[in-house]
Amino acid sequence: MGYKNKLLTEKQYTILYLKMLDASCKNNKREWDKLLAMNSVTLVCYCPKNTFCHRHLLAKYLADKFSNQVELIGEV
Ligand SMILES: [Zn+2]
């Protein structure tokens, strides 16, 4: 989405990515409900630990938007 090739700042990427997640929640409700019904989910990516990554944005999004269903445990 343009972050890796420096077309977007972290902040710009974050704003666009969160908008994309909101749209996905609305347009793919069944898939999100399946995800939220899982007992445990591990998000993976090739980015090194403690670097800016959409995986962290998604984890925080899930924990914020679905706080009654999602608990962040931390890095594996
Ligand atoms: Zn990543």
Check pLDDT > 90 for residue 48: no
- 3-state SS, one letter per residue, for the chain: CCCCCCCCCHHHHHHHHHHHHHHHHHHCHHHHHHHHHCCCCCCCCCCCCCCCCHHHHHHHHHHHHCCCCCCCCCCC
Centre of ligand 1 from the C-alpha of residue 46, in Å: 6
Averaged pLDDT, 38-48? 92
Centre of ligand 1 from the C-alpha of residue 25, in Å: 20
Residues making up the chain, counted from first to last:
76
Centre of ligand 1 from the C-alpha of residue 43, in Å: 10
Check pLDDT > 80 for residue 8: yes
From 2-6, 66-70, 71-75, the region with the lowest mean pLDDT: 2-6
Domains of the chain: which residue ranges? 10-65
Global pTM? 0.86
Check pLDDT > 80 for residue 3: no
Cβ–Cβ under 8 Å, residues 13 and 2: yes
Centre of ligand 1 from the C-alpha of residue 48, in Å: 7
